[in-house]
Amino acid sequence: MTLSTFKSILFSVLFLAISTNGFASENSDPENDKEFEPKEMILHHVKDAYGMHIIDISGHPISIPLPVILYTDNGLTTFMSSEFHHDYNGEVIVEKNGQKFVNVHEKVYVLNEGETQVTYDEEHHPTNAKRPLDFSITRNVFMMMVSVIVLILLFTTTARRYKKSENNVPTGIAGFIEPLVVFVRDEIGKPMIGEHKYKRYMPYLLTIFFFIWINNVFGLIPILNGANLSGNIAFTCTLAVFTFIITTISGNKNYWKHIFWMPGVPVPMKIFLMPIEIIGMFVKPISLMIRLFANITAGHVIILALMSLIFVFKSVAIAPVSVAFSLFITVIEIIVTAIQAYIFTILSALYFGMATEEEHH
């Protein structure tokens, strides 16, 4: 590890500590001396939000507002997330289009007609408000758009480099991208799918590899403060569904025969294996979804939990230990960003290979 890389990681961890401290200060109540709650802070950081919270300076949060787009009985309503003033406890009421909106734990509700404030049940769920259709550009959606733009710029620049270079020798950014593309082709596509069929799946394999990897990296950038798209179960579910659809469409006669009527085994065993194989069709994408989501979320939770020790024990003496362990986990997270992209891609390729494998005689 180079000195510059070490400094970057250390800065990231220290930035996270400052951000965590800002959150602790923001949620403290001087009158009641409210205790710092690690669980609340961690869940707040890892889940999606309506604004890009950057940092707190002297108790004043700095963030990038994002558009809130809602569809209710009164039609389409839009406003910026800054109108909630960083409130997610339903205290700030935004009046738009003849209706009142509140943000309760990063979920926007519209109050029932005639209501002036939110009431809750025992589990702190709103009882006098309902969820509208939400098409908002949240933090994760915003970062997904950013990652798409970055990937387009990255590969268009690489393509231009190839056009300008002599003998197709990669230079600049193309020299970094080409080995990765070759790696996905030679170490994932060809071995898992086969020499004659891998080409039709390469666009998808390359897309998910770079898409997952770059979003995992974005999740580690401290200034984005927890915008971990891969830590969102809806994102990983969507990718897994695409893999499932492609696998199902690609399945040949041999593939479906092994699922519904396993060859080479007695008939009673075929009847027994058929429901297991059908269940296995759906277990595969579910495992893809959970594996990526759980690994990325777990890394963020561990780092935040370690930083929370400083505020739980209310001692500066614990800070070196928390920062040291957080630094160690952050280094591992950097490696995990690429590993998880690789695992998702290679398993998708494996499923494609199983679906297109020809019958052996």
The domain segmentation of the chain, as residue ranges, is 67-136, 140-356
DSSP letters, 7-70, are HHHHHHHHHHHHHHHHHHHHT--TTTTPPP-HHHHHHHHHS--SEEEEEEETTEEEEEE-EEEE
pLDDT-flagged residues of the chain (< 50): 1, 3-11, 13-15, 17-19, 22-23, 25-33
Residue range 71-114, pLDDT digits in tens: 988 889 999 988 888 777 778 888 888 888 988 888 889 888 88
For residues 179 and 121, give the distance between their C-alpha atoms in angstroms, rounded to a whole number: 56
C-beta separation of 294 from 286 below 8 A? no
- Identify the pLDDT of residue 350: 94
- Identify the pLDDT of residue 202: 94
Q: Which segments within the chain are labelled E, that is strand? A: 51-57, 60-65, 67-72, 75-80, 94-96, 99-103, 108-111, 129-130, 133-134
For residues 293 and 9, give the distance between their C-alpha atoms in angstroms, rounded to a whole number: 23
C-beta separation of 177 from 155 below 8 A? yes
Rounded to 5 degrees, what angle do the CA atoms 347, 353, 359 make?
145
pTM: 0.82
For residues 233 and 242, give the distance between their C-alpha atoms in angstroms, rounded to a whole number: 14
Bridge partner residues of 60 (DSSP): 57
- Identify the pLDDT of residue 238: 94
C-beta separation of 175 from 162 below 8 A? no
Q: Which tokens belong to 240? A: 């897994």
* φ, ψ at 59 (rounded to 5°): 80, 0
